Amino acid sequence: MANISKKVSWSGRGDDRGERTPLLNGAEDGKYNRHVLHFVFQSLDYDNSENQLFLEEERRMSHMGFRCLETRRWVICGLIGFLTGLIACLIDIAVEKLAGYKYSAVKQNIEKFTEFGGLSISLILWAVLNSAFVMVGAIAVAFFEPIAAGSGIPQIKCYLNGVKIPRVVRLKTLAIKVFGVICSVAGGLAVGKEGPMIHSGAVVAAGVSQGRSTSLKKDFKIFEYFRRDTEKRDFVSAGAAAGVSAAFGAPVGGVLFSLEEGASFWNQMLTWRIFFASMISTFTLNFFLSIYHGKPGELSSPGLINFGRFDSDVSSYIPFESFIFFSFHFPGGVLGALFNVINYWLTIFRIRYIHRPCLQVMEAMLVAAVTATISFAMIYFSNDCQPLGQDNTEEYSLQLFCADGEYNSMATAFFNTPERSVRSLFHNPPGSYNPLTLGVFTLAYFVLAVWTYGLTVSAGVFIPSLLIGAAWGRLFGILLSTITSSQSIWADPGKYALIGAAAQLVTHACHLCFVLLEHEAHVCGLYDVHIKLQSVPFLHWEAPPTSHWLTAREVMSSPVTCFNRVEKVGRIVDVLSNTSTNHNGFPVVAHTTENDEPGKICGLILRSQLIVLLKHKVFVERASSRLSHRKLQLKDFRDAYPRFPPIQSIHVSQDERECMMDLTEFMNPTPYTVPQETSLPRVFKLFRALGLRHLVVVDNENRVVGLVTRKDLARYHLGKDGLEELHLAQT
């Protein structure tokens, strides 16, 4: 019963009152403790509060009414897909344009100075251009919306897991995210533009489904039915899927992503809607890109990344190759693990020392300049010249010191956007690269990518890891063909580039939606590291296997603040204002006896509901004195959702404090409860499967004895010495 390493420093307080919070991007006050769970993160409520108002509305609604709602859901998903596709299109075009200008300018400069000498000026030009782009992007992120940093996938994972992360689905976040990713990709950082698409899709979904924008202070008065956590999260799943679909051109991949993250709240119709949003999104992107490229209707680029077509069928291996391919997993896994470990320590370093916005901007600029310098040096010192083929598709091929009719092969890997580099590695004919080039490139790019991920810029990590994999995969293929010296079998090193890329992403990939699944598996390791570093109370799929000896009694918070069915306004205001017990859900009991004996449970009411009741002064005395008083409706709760005002902003006079409030109509009369003896895995399963926020623990007389919330469950995890318990800290 006692093999748990207790590290509890209990400070029962959790709140989200609009202060600037550290979130997932690192800015904190210089302290970092790996055994801490932050209290700042609230839970979403995936459980409907089925109070009388809600039941009355549902019962009034006809069968036709439900059909209407269903239709509206489809329309919203269509809109989400369309807008997400448009955003992807915008990002793609902007990046192409900006990168095009940059590389043209640098190329002209290099060509000019190759003859006269003085290439250091070209280097400076390149570094300055890169830094300038990155500076603009980093300033936007660091000063205006820090939540827009990184790929956004960890944040969306948390959101779908049920953690409410402040400002993550706001319009402002979207704007900064899109602007930031354009800057950082154009600025030549070792980043991709795919990850941010997922975050963008989620924001679009949250906005469209709610029919209003708080950032713009605009309420379209539509889709009001969907203004609650349950419905909103469904749409955010669809948005994330649409983002995946636009990024990778893989609608099925999008659906799988959403399933992976939110599957416990999932049903068949929802899957089809998510699929619909994904299809619309990839179609929209494809359609508008085809118009932009002047070939309207030629729908050949379904996603932001496009691997091109392989001449030889990638999926038909000769048997020996299967073994080779399995052996690819080993170096891929080692590199991936190394990436995660280094990045882990780097992130801790950043949390401790680089938390001021201006420092963050400067680090980003430094990385941009170093990226340019390293790239330039490698191109400069490489003497890997390749003949310029007729079907050469390199847009910015550099001749440099090569003979006429030849180009510098290192430049195709470094003097290019990462997506194009990946494509060159896959498709350039055998012999395009010499092994040394590839080896040095792999090493240098690995270092840059590790350093880059976690910068305060908006950027994804999928493409860099794909590129590293492609480079060493191709290297491996070349070496293999040298050893066996039979060019016929190992004819196409591009094939190895693909296998390498897939192996880097942990397992083998046959086609794209599958590549994505693996991306999940690999990069998710990285994401999980970052989620853990930020002390988010993330609930995994199951409780730790060795936690069966823990019961609800040990896990729950106790004592619990309860309210009576008819409660004094003054007490409610006092409880809500008490910052040391900043709870969000309160069991409602039949008769709290004064002598501290717990009362029988008869409902559960949320802080947000109480706030609305107080704001509208729904007091028993007023109801009886003034008959004309408008009855409170669900609409009033929906209008206040999701940013309910803080208790401090609501004025309650001394007289009103003496009034009574009848909670019967507004509380959830049938909250889920468990007995005290329930084992932790069982509590966990109930909590996770239903997406709960509060679970009331009762004794065998149905009296409230405790309350289980997300942090109570998330704080148990499997460490090296068995089950460990994390600190609960207030930020």
Residues 265-304 interacting with its own copies (rule: CB under 8 A): 266-269, 271-272, 275, 296-300, 302
Nearer to its own copies, 42 or 678 (CB): 678
CA pair distance 262, 717, nearest whole angstrom: 21
- Tell me how far, at minimum, the Cβ of 307 lies from its own copies, in Å: 14
- Minimum CB separation from its own copies for residue 678, in Å? 4
Any contact of residue 345 with its own copies (CB under 8 A)?
no
For residue 5, give the DSSP letter. Answer: B
Contact set for its own copies, span 654-673 (CB under 8 A): 669-670, 672-673
Under rule CB under 8 A, residue 327 binds its own copies: no
Does 312 contact its own copies by CB under 8 A? no
Per rule CB under 8 A, is residue 256 in the interface with its own copies? yes
Binding range to its own copies, per CB under 8 A, among 47-55, 396-404, 567-575, 658-666: 47-55
Beta-strand ranges (E) seen in 291-430 are 385-387, 406-408
Q: Does residue 349 bind its own copies (CB under 8 A)?
A: no
50 is a site residue for its own copies (CB under 8 A): yes
Over the window 157 to 186, marking each residue x when it contacts its own copies by CB under 8 A and - when it does not, the resulting string is ------------------------------
Q: Following DSSP, what letter does each residue of 250-315 receive, concatenated? A: -HHHHHHHHHHHHGGG--HHHHHHHHHHHHHHHHHHHHHHHHHTT-TT-----SSS-----SS-TT
| Interface with its own copies (CB under 8 A), residue from 29, 58, 111, 574 | 58
How far apart are the C-alpha atoms of 202 and 197, rounded to whole Å? 9
d(CA 673, CA 679): 13
Cβ of residue 523: shortest distance to its own copies, in angstroms? 15
Site for its own copies in 673-692 (CB under 8 A): 673-675, 677-679, 682, 685-686, 689-690
Q: Which stretch binds its own copies (CB under 8 A): 104-112, 218-226, 352-360, 514-522?
A: 514-522
> CB 642: neighbour CB atoms within 10 A?
16
| Interacting span for its own copies (CB under 8 A) from 62-70, 111-119, 379-387, 395-403 | 62-70
Contact between 593 and its own copies per CB under 8 A: no
Q: What is the total count of residues that contact its own copies (CB under 8 A)?
A: 72
Contacts for 514-519: CB closer than 8 Å, 24+ residues apart: 514/253, 515/248, 515/250, 515/253, 516/244, 516/248, 516/250, 516/253, 516/256, 516/257, 517/253, 517/256, 519/462, 519/465
Examine residue 566 and tell whether it contacts its own copies (CB under 8 A): no
- Residues 188-247 touching its own copies, rule: CB under 8 A, are none
Q: Please, how many CA atoms are within 13 Å of residue 76, restricted to the half-sphere of its CB?
A: 31
What does the alpha-carbon distance between residue 688 and residue 162 come to, in Å, rounded to a whole number? 9
Complex with its own copies: residue 513 or 523, whichever CB lies closer: 513
Roughly how many angstroms between the first and final C-alpha of the chain, as a whole number?
Answer: 31
- Name the minimum Å distance from CB 122 to its own copies: 41
The site string for its own copies over 527-546 (x = CB under 8 A, - otherwise) reads: --------------xx--xx
How far apart CA 443 and CA 454 sit, in angstroms, is: 19
How long a stretch of residues is the chain? 731
Placement of tokens 């799988």 in the chain = 256
Residue 541 Cβ vs its own copies, minimum distance, rounded to whole Å = 4
**For tokens 């003859």, what's the residue?**
115
Spatial separation of the C-alpha atoms in residues 584 and 487, rounded to whole Å: 68
- Interface with its own copies, residue 59, by CB under 8 A: yes
